[in-house]
Amino acid sequence: MKTNPTSDPSLEPSPAGRLSRRSFVSHALVAAAAAPVLSAASVFADGTNPQPAAATPAKTFERKIKLGLVGCGGRGSWIADLFKRHGGYEIHCVADYFQEVADKCGDALGVPAGRRFSTLSGHQRVLASGVEAVALETPPCFFPEHASAAVAAGLHVYMAKPVAVDVPGCLQIEAAGKTATENKRCFMVDYQMPTDPAILDVVKRLAAPGFGKIARVSTTGVCHSFADPPKTATIESRLQKITWINDIALGCDYIGDYDIHALDAALWVIGQRPVAASGAARICRPDPHGDAHDVCSVLFEYENGTMHDHFGQALPNYVPGELSCRIHGVTGNAVLTYGGAAKLKSFDDAFNGEATNLYEAGVVRNIATFYENVTAGRFDNPTVRRSVDGVLAAILGREAATRHIRLTMDEVMKENKKLELDLRGMKS
């Protein structure tokens, strides 16, 4: 059911950007029929108090995985509650850059005060606390360092997306995933679309002869803008209320943080990462202070000849939220959306389904799979490769669109450009 966004005051464009991550997701799901919504990367602190997931009886598990949480903001605390509800995890400790955020989360989870850590080195205290696994829910810029340290400490890793903001970070995650497999440890990246039964059904049907060769893929990422206030003496203020999404070095740009779900679906169905891209990008939001581009148009090229066009927008212009991947075959077409339609039509097949409650249900499924992988000793870690390829595709698109040129993946990889993070004045 579509609704007029103006009927909900929380969807009004707001210079203050007070819309929380999870509130935005739930509202945008309602606002877009057959259109998906925000699952932006997690934050240290967003100043919100998301509603808990619907209560379900926890199962009884013989083994409890001792888990540490790094990043206790809106999504971090929310996802920790889902770990707790699963029943197979013990939330042993938490860490957040901001002590008050770690304390608030610790209170909600029943974590003793002595196991609530803060500052930039808080994750190190989590890794040394005796945990068996760690959930990483920070801004993306911290993922490569935190994930590599967790793997080096012999821990299982569950983390949000995007896995990095630059090529060196992607390579670091790739290496950490390989080391995890070699050391018989699990490493899971939390994408929700690949867990949905209806979406899986559509993807399976794409391989049928009746659909024909994939000729073109079209992806879209549309969301509301986020507050981008003036910068302060340190980046502390950028780590809260999803402000970091406006800074490329913190969040990987909108194409890498929000649109990444649609790009991931495209790479999934095409079966390879792009070899080149061309495009354009702009900053159009009112009074910007970060360098992230809120409008982009990118044409990706693939070795197999598939055409892939992508459009991204993050503006307060009342366009319903959307994360979609449309697949055009020679004799069929299909659409995959985040929290909406999952359907296919070809000359000998038809399927009309819907991805239901994907934002929560997908995480619940991933948490259950992570537990099963750890306890059953499954260490192939298939989510790492595709999550790295997805971010590399986003970086390729970002760089080509920013420079307004055609750029190859080989050129981007050779540049190996690292985005420097200014940590001056931060609490270490």
What pLDDT, on the 0 to 100 scale, is given for residue 60? 78
Q: Which of 129, 77, 72 is nearest to 95 (CA)?
A: 72
368 in Cβ contact with 158 (< 8 Å): no
Question: What average pLDDT score do residues 244-267 get?
Answer: 98
Tallying the residues shown for the chain, one arrives at 428
Residue 269 backbone dihedrals phi, psi, to 5 degrees: -80, -30
Q: Which two tokens stand for residue 379?
A: 């260490």
Question: What average pLDDT score do residues 129-140 get?
Answer: 98
CB atoms within 10 A of CB 426: 14
What pLDDT, on the 0 to 100 scale, is given for residue 3? 32
Using the Cα atoms of residue 344, residue 349, residue 354 and residue 355 in order, give the sign of their dihedral.
Answer: negative
Domain range summary for the chain, segments of one domain joined by +: 194-356+388-415
What pLDDT, on the 0 to 100 scale, is given for residue 280? 98
Q: What HEC string does 30-69 produce?
A: HHCCCCCCCCCCCCCECCCCCCCCCCCCCCCCCCCEEEEE
Mean pLDDT across the chain, nearest whole number?
88
3 in Cβ contact with 31 (< 8 Å): yes
Question: What average pLDDT score do residues 120-147 get?
Answer: 98
Which strands, in side-by-side order, build the sheet including 307-314? 349-354, 341-346, 332-337, 322-329, 214-223, 307-314, 295-301, 276-282, 406-408
What radius of gyration do the chain's Cα atoms show? 20
For 387-426, what is each residue's pLDDT tens digit?
A: 999 999 999 999 999 999 999 999 999 999 999 999 999 9
Residues 6+ positions from 202 with CB-CB distance below 8 Å: 334, 336, 342, 343, 344, 351, 353
- Residue found under tokens 């409008």: 295
Cα gap 174→390, rounded to integer Å: 12
For residue 122, what pLDDT band results from cuts at 50, 70 and 90? very high
User: Domain 194-356+388-415 is classified in which CATH homologous superfamily?
Assistant: Dihydrodipicolinate Reductase; domain 2 (3.30.360.10)
For 18-48, what is each residue's pLDDT tens digit?
A: 334 333 333 333 233 323 222 323 322 333 3
What pLDDT, on the 0 to 100 scale, is given for residue 192? 96
For 268-283, what is each residue's pLDDT tens digit?
A: 999 999 999 999 999 9
- Residue 140 C-alpha from the chain's centroid: 9
Question: What average pLDDT score do residues 149-156 get?
Answer: 98
Counting residues of the chain whose pLDDT is more than 90, the rounded percentage is 84
What pLDDT, on the 0 to 100 scale, is given for residue 377? 97
What pLDDT, on the 0 to 100 scale, is given for residue 253? 98
**Torsion over CA of 21, 247, 308 and 385, rounded to 10 degrees?**
-80
Cα gap 355→39, rounded to integer Å: 15
181 in Cβ contact with 379 (< 8 Å): yes
What pLDDT, on the 0 to 100 scale, is given for residue 57? 52
Q: Which of 231, 237, 228, 226 is nearest to 98 (CA)?
A: 237
- Does residue 343 carry a pLDDT above 50? yes
17-31, 114-128, 191-205, 314-328: least confident range: 17-31
Are β-strands 214-223 and 133-136 bridged in parallel, bridged antiparallel, or unpaired?
A: unpaired
